[in-house]
Structure 1
């Protein structure tokens, strides 16, 4: 009897572990995530680990990227935002920097497209304490593909094809910069008609972005804080879209040199840019920085979208 009980317990434990491992992220009822690649994913890993979703909608091991469309609620402004959650290019913070953001955007009449891009190691990151630069930034491939798809489907989704922007947080902020500077050509072989549509964002919002400053890997005691140069993978051009930047001075994950370096490059290229730096806020606050001045940032973004013509004038 004891052997039977132990065996049954072991089987049940194994099934539970398998179910826990097999759990993947799903959007809320009424929303469907759609694969962005119709067939083979470019530069796919030969043996990817299974995707898992943990506490707080943390997603690991994304090998089949998807997008989930959240339609505008109430008055449809015609604007759309593709959202890139953060996670250091190792995982995705799918609620804090994903669904929370979509809930806010759609409440303002803006269509939200939440991108579940590939991780890990799909952009500049840290692996075992060392800086890692992938030969191919597959997250950028996913971003380019999604922007083309959104623009191709704009009429179907009630979106103005000239009012499609990007918003990203932390590593997603780096992806915003990458998408804003790498749009002249796709970084993958063209798949279909969607890849012949422009993937240039019409506006860009980077919140506590990382992986931008050229000296971020150097020792804090010897790095040159006066040199606000960008990393060579981000090359701002005159056609880089109008950009909104946000950072907290006490962000000890991605310090303000990251956003300052990007601002200097944008300013040098005469790209219309609005930047806000607050004393307090830390990192990864999303929409949850309650009782701090930085909590006003969504209203600032909305006002900025009016000023650049992405939302109707308030006059």
Structure 2
């Protein structure tokens, strides 16, 4: 893992980069897909459970991975719109790394967990729409994601999370950013969604609303709603278990990763062989 510092205007932020080294035996290195991962943490912190272990899983598919340390709520900043600007800056930075790291820029996937999914969903809805983009990111977007993966996502901040409206205002003083599904257009990218119907933190209706809007717009999607399991499962196995926390384990829900891999093959992000 290597740290990379970037900046949007006068605000600096960090990436953790997980590059897949070229195979030395090959005369010409393979260009590899890449996942940009936005961990959750209620916009208060970024959980490591949804960072390096997820990056390693993507590496195992032959994909590069980058974990974005996006803007959280602090004394000086709200999350929005800065988190979206940081994600756009990260995408543009990939252009400079295309030849150095052998990246297939046509196969970049945005991956969000919980609060991090709200960043990804808002980006898919707002920044990818030419009529809305300049409100957030007036510069040219030189790299466009091909697909999204949303894991137990926050989509609409008015239907159960956060429970405190004051916290929602700290996340985004402009309520324009609160409801990702409301701004989704035909420019949104194919999306994989999974959640549990027993999620007691983020209501499952978040996933349903976003899928419903994609369905109305004809955007390809795949959604899996599991019948049991707590919020914040990550991989749902011992790799991402906080020691002693049985709620981090669910043998049924670990299937989400296999289903996601199948979907990435369907989207031709990774080869179907």
Q: TM-score band, normalised by the shorter chain?
A: 0.7 to 0.9
2:247 is equivalent to residue 299 of structure 1: no
Residue of structure 2 equivalent to 1:147 = 91
Total equivalences in the alignment: 237
**Structure of larger gyration radius:** 1
Residue of structure 2 equivalent to 1:33 = 3
Cα offset, 1:150, TM superposition: 1.6
Q: Which runs of 5+ in 2 are unaligned?
A: 24-29, 164-176, 238-248
**Counterpart Cα distance in 1 of 2:81 and 2:8:** 19
**Counterpart Cα distance in 2 of 1:135 and 1:108:** 31
* 1:182-230 residue CA offsets vs partner (Å, 9 max, x unmatched): 233355566xxxx5343532100000011426433699xxxxxxxxxx9
Confirm or deny: 8 A CA contact 1:179 1:200 kept in the other structure. no
**Counterpart Cα distance in 1 of 2:137 and 2:227:** 44
**Cα distance 1:99–1:153, how it changes in 2: closer, same or farther (>3 A)?**
same
2:160 is equivalent to residue 216 of structure 1: yes
**Counterpart Cα distance in 2 of 1:135 and 1:171:** 11
* 1:67-113 residue CA offsets vs partner (Å, 9 max, x unmatched): 122012687561100000101111111x2011110111111111001
Q: Pick from 221, 236, 240 the counterpart of residue 184 of structure 2.
A: 236
Per the normalisation by structure 2, the TM-score is 0.78
Confirm or deny: 8 A CA contact 1:84 1:114 kept in the other structure. yes
Confirm or deny: 8 A CA contact 2:161 2:203 kept in the other structure. no
Residue of structure 2 equivalent to 1:56 = none
Residue of structure 2 equivalent to 1:172 = 116
Q: Pick from 172, 185, 198 the counterpart of residue 250 of structure 1.
A: 198
**Counterpart Cα distance in 2 of 1:206 and 1:218:** 18
**Counterpart Cα distance in 1 of 2:91 and 2:60:** 22
Residue of structure 1 equivalent to 2:142 = 198
**Cα distance 1:65–1:218, how it changes in 2: closer, same or farther (>3 A)?**
closer
Q: Pick from 190, 208, 215 the counterpart of residue 267 of structure 1.
A: 215
Query: Which stretch of the first structure deviates more once superposed, 284-293 or 168-177?
Result: 284-293
Confirm or deny: 8 A CA contact 2:8 2:85 kept in the other structure. no
| Secondary structure of the corresponding residue to residue 272 of structure 2 | coil
**Counterpart Cα distance in 2 of 1:258 and 1:203:** 19
Q: Pick from 69, 85, 92 the counterpart of residue 39 of structure 2.
A: 85
**Counterpart Cα distance in 2 of 1:259 and 1:213:** 12
| Secondary structure of the corresponding residue to residue 79 of structure 1 | strand
**Cα distance 1:83–1:189, how it changes in 2: closer, same or farther (>3 A)?**
closer
**Cα distance 1:119–1:134, how it changes in 2: closer, same or farther (>3 A)?**
closer
Confirm or deny: 8 A CA contact 1:151 1:164 kept in the other structure. no
Confirm or deny: 8 A CA contact 1:212 1:259 kept in the other structure. no
**Counterpart Cα distance in 1 of 2:37 and 2:98:** 16
Confirm or deny: 8 A CA contact 1:213 1:261 kept in the other structure. no
